[in-house]
């Protein structure tokens, strides 16, 4: 009898840990390629959205574009009984003789969906409003920026439409950031604003070009996408850096954990997709708005297409040697943009439905045959997952689920051979982002 009772409990725990939330599938199905196409077309038809372009016209320039974006967020909020707080966040950027050739007000469009339990904890999805042509200081020529980055902006608006139908424990921010092409000014301004307001930023998912499937090398791929993440925060202390030499963690910073979370959630709910983690801050020698949040000490990653086409990025509209240059609507694959928008939406929802990550995770087991852990209990967590992986593995591959404890020993697991982390799990099965140990248990 005891044998069967143990088997029943074991199977029950296995089913609990393996279950998925059917609401996530509804979110995927509710993302619309047609709405994304309509929004990309609207943004591209503003002619140019250069940071220094016209702000007075209602049909051309970045002023018209950001007013339209705000109006879309306002409509979404009206449809969900004012569930979004929509506003402009702005900073004056002075002429610098480089890419800011005249004083300009850099204006972000922010929409906040407040959480019911942790209203001061925020997970962010961003797209860039601005566009440019070959000369970064040319703010008058047509620059439709259909893929770079009307696609990311349209995806952010669409995610707000879909997720505004739900309530979440944590807050979600949907934001259009400006000034990216001129020096990441919008992201820097919002990160500083978050610091000033005392927001607890869980992380930012920066979407920059999510609509191209044909690379300049001729490769066509409508399922693979890249997740860029830096290894460790630039704000870490010298003491933390020295500790890493002895205890590990060179590839386990907060942004890398966010990247792993997105990889895992996508493979769970959208297994047809191929998330590819790229172990660097951004593309070689290039940058995106997530970097400004990293600079402020926040977790941040970049989600984008796998195969870029440089003939359509930062190009004057023209035809040379039979090649059509320019970031036009005709080159955007709206179904692919839908898929990557869904990737964002399900990760926003999963994180927003999850409890906070465990704090003060400590690890021990030096010269022992077991690995020991302790952490602060997380309010609202049903249980915890203690993860471990080979030191060369990019993903968390093994775990032990536990409940009603804030310390545990993994027997038979030698601490030297693996990396470890701990996440908190809610009653509905959603997990927090994994916390890598930051302290040592000596006893």
Local confidence pLDDT in tens for the 443 residues of the chain: 444 444 433 433 443 444 689 999 999 999 999 999 999 999 999 999 999 999 999 999 999 999 999 999 999 999 999 999 999 999 999 999 999 999 999 999 999 999 999 999 999 999 999 999 999 999 999 999 999 999 999 999 999 999 999 999 999 999 999 999 999 999 999 999 999 999 999 999 999 999 999 999 999 999 999 999 999 999 999 999 999 999 999 999 999 999 999 999 999 999 999 999 999 999 999 999 999 999 999 999 999 999 999 999 999 999 999 999 999 999 999 999 999 999 999 999 999 999 999 999 999 999 999 999 999 999 999 999 999 999 999 999 999 999 999 999 999 999 999 999 999 999 999 999 999 999 999 87
Cα separation, 214 vs 197, whole angstroms: 42
Cα separation, 255 vs 233, whole angstroms: 8
For residue 19, the model assigns a pLDDT of 62
58-77 pLDDT per residue, tens: 999 999 999 999 999 999 99
Burial class (CB in 10 A: 0-12, 13-18, 19+), 170: buried
Q: Which two tokens stand for residue 218?
A: 């001729």
76-95 pLDDT per residue, tens: 999 999 999 999 999 999 99
Number of H helices, E strands in the chain: 11, 17
- The DSSP letter of residue 417 is G
3-state secondary structure of 240: helix
Residue with tokens 């967020």, as numbered in its chain: 73
User: Which regions of 330-443 does DSSP assign to beta strands (E)?
Assistant: 362-364, 370-374, 383-390, 398-402, 407-411, 418-425, 439-441
Cα separation, 315 vs 307, whole angstroms: 17
Do β-strands 274-278 and 224-228 pair in parallel, antiparallel, or remain unpaired? Answer: parallel
Q: Edge-to-edge strands of the sheet including 418-425?
A: 398-402, 383-390, 418-425
User: Which regions of 214-344 does DSSP assign to beta strands (E)?
Assistant: 224-228, 274-278, 300-305, 318-320, 323-325
Cα separation, 46 vs 216, whole angstroms: 26
SS3 content of the chain, % helix, strand, coil (to 5): 35, 25, 40
Do the Cβ atoms of 235 and 297 come closer than 8 Å?
yes
Of 200, 12, 203, give the one whose Cα is nearest residue 123. Answer: 203
Of 192, 184, 176, give the one whose Cα is nearest residue 100. Answer: 184
For CA atoms 140, 142, 147, 152, the dihedral sign is: positive
For residue 87, the model assigns a pLDDT of 98
Q: What angle do CA 388, 259, 407 make, to 5 degrees?
A: 35
For residue 386, the model assigns a pLDDT of 98
For helices 62-79 and 33-44, give the axis angle rounded to 10 degrees: 150
For residue 11, the model assigns a pLDDT of 39
């Amino acid at each position: 009898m005891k044998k069967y009772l143990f088997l029943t409990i074991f199977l029950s725990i296995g089913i609990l840990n393996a279950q998925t939330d059917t609401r996530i599938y509804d979110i995927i199905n509710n993302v619309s390629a047609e709405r994304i196409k309509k929004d990309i077309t609207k943004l591209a038809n503003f002619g140019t959205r250069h940071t220094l372009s016209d702000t007075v016209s209602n049909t051309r320039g970045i002023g018209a574009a950001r007013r339209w974006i705000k109006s879309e967020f306002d409509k979404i909020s009206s449809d969900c009984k004012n569930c979004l707080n929509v506003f402009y966040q702005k900073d004056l950027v002075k002429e610098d003789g480089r890419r800011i050739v005249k004083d300009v007000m850099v204006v972000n469009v922010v929409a906040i969906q407040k959480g019911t339990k942790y209203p001061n904890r925020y997970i962010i999805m961003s797209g860039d409003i601005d566009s440019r042509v070959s000369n970064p200081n040319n703010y008058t020529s047509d620059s439709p920026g259909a893929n770079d980055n009307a696609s990311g902006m349209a995806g952010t608006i669409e995610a707000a439409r879909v997720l505004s139908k739900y309530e979440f424990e944590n807050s979600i921010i949907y934001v259009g950031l400006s000034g990216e092409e001129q020096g990441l000014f919008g992201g820097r301004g919002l990160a500083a604003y978050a610091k000033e307001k005392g927001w607890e930023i869980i992380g930012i998912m920066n979407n920059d070009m999510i609509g191209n499937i044909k690379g300049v090398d001729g490769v066509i791929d409508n399922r693979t996408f890249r997740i860029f993440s830096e290894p460790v925060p630039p704000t870490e202390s010298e003491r933390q850096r020295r500790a890493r030499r002895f205890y590990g963690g060179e590839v386990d910073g907060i942004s890398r954990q966010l990247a792993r979370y997105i990889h895992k959630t996508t493979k769970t709910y959208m297994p047809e997709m191929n998330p590819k983690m790229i172990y660097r801050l951004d593309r070689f020698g290039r940058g995106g708005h997530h970097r400004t949040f990293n600079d402020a000490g926040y977790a941040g990653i970049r989600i984008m297409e796998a195969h870029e086409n440089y003939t359509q990025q930062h190009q004057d509209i023209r035809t040379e040697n039979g090649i059509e240059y320019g970031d036009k609507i005709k080159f955007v694959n709206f179904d692919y943009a839908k898929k990557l928008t869904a990737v964002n939406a399900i990760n926003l929802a999963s994180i927003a439905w999850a409890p906070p990550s465990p704090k003060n995770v400590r690890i021990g087991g030096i010269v022992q045959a077991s690995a020991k852990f302790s952490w602060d209990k997380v309010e609202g967590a049903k249980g915890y997952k203690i993860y471990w992986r080979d030191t060369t593995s990019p993903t968390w591959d093994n775990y032990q689920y536990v409940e009603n404890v804030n310390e545990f020993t993994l027997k038979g697991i030698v601490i030297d051979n693996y990396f470890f982390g701990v996440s908190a799990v809610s009653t509905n099965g959603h997990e927090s982002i994994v916390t890598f140990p930051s302290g040592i248990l000596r006893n």
